[in-house]
Amino acid sequence: MATQPQTLIRPVREEKLNALLGQAVQDMGASLQAALIVIGDRLGLYRAMADGNPVTPAELARRTGTGERYVQEWLNANAAGNYVQYHAETNTYSLSPEQAFVLALDNTPVHLPGFYHMLASAMKDEEKLTEAFRTGKGFGWHQHEKGLFEGCERFFRPGYLANLTANWIPALEGVEEKLKAGAKVADIGCGHGASTILMAQAYPKSRFFGFDYHGASIEQARHRAAEAGVADRITFEVAPAKSFPGAGYDFVAFFDCLHDMGDPAGAAKHVREALAPNGTWMIVEPFAGDDVSSNLNPIGRIYYSASTLFCVPASLAQEVGLGLGAQAGEARIRQIVSSAGFTRFRRATETHFNLVFEARP
């Protein structure tokens, strides 16, 4: 039961209050804008403006089969939020090259709409998550509203497009050479298979196995692999991280998922057993420092929030239920990996959003 508010007795500094209210106004606008980004993405409104040519609300409505009055208000909201350009002299709207790159084109390294589909899914699950807070029980990944799974794939895929084969794998000792020559690879927690498919496209001589405990995601991954023309060298199977099948893997990859697991130490132990003697485990995790203070920044705000809504509930719903969280940091990851018998662990590379670790027996 919620506690009753107490009478405010501490003095309030006006400048601090105004600054906080100013931030709140920005956040209110961003929160409401999120729903409009999802709607615009679903209806193809941004894609219909990708060429940068100015359009009237009526023209955009005709292109997309939508109602003009809704489109007019949607355009004005996007213009106020700096996601669309407004041309007062002609009463038209357009996307700048940068806005189109972020909102209208799917295969860019900074495509944003996927994140907002994740947010929409979380809001649909708000009542269930509130109850999880009350009980302390977990809320499994598979229990979320279905928009989360597509949104997650679309949110993470741009980072993989930009970095996976260009920076992350080349930063690992001897791994790229093995993949080019032909290696046995396991991608654990593969979801819809974005990372697995990208690796299969880049390294056609290797054989890839994608595992995820969520059956619907594995079905989608198989479909995506067939569409991409790489189904002949990828096998997707439903399996948890602590017991995925196979052995003698030259390379095992965990993309943004170790912290979601109920028993990450148990998963690490199984990886150690499944690796070939000279194999490598790559662990991609959200960028984080080792203490709370170092994560109190815009990136940390995103990750702590996502961790509260998705990562910690998923972990608490599983065996052990460690609840590691998305901002665990390097020291904690090192501890988990070392406890499984890995003798070599290092930060291979990083981006503004991710830490990439290399572990070897």
Q: At what angle do helices 194-202 and 147-163 cross, to 10 degrees?
A: 30
Pairwise CA distance, residues 57 & 74, whole Å? 9
> Is this model's pTM higher than 0.75 or not?
yes
Pairwise CA distance, residues 281 & 223, whole Å? 27
For 249-304, write each residue's pLDDT tens digit: 999 999 999 999 999 999 999 999 999 999 999 999 999 999 999 999 999 999 99
Question: Residue 244 pLDDT > 90, yes or no?
Answer: yes
Structure tokens at 297: 């920044």
Structure tokens at 28: 């209110």
Question: Residue 42 pLDDT > 80, yes or no?
Answer: yes
The count of other CB atoms within 10 Å of the CB of residue 53 is 10
Question: Residue 2 pLDDT > 60, yes or no?
Answer: no
Cα separations (Å) of 23 from 203, 292, 346, 354? Answer: 47, 21, 38, 26
Contacts of 73 (CB under 8 A, 6+ apart): none
Instruction: List the domains of the chain with CATH numbers.
Output: 14-105 (1.10.10.10), 115-360 (3.40.50.150)
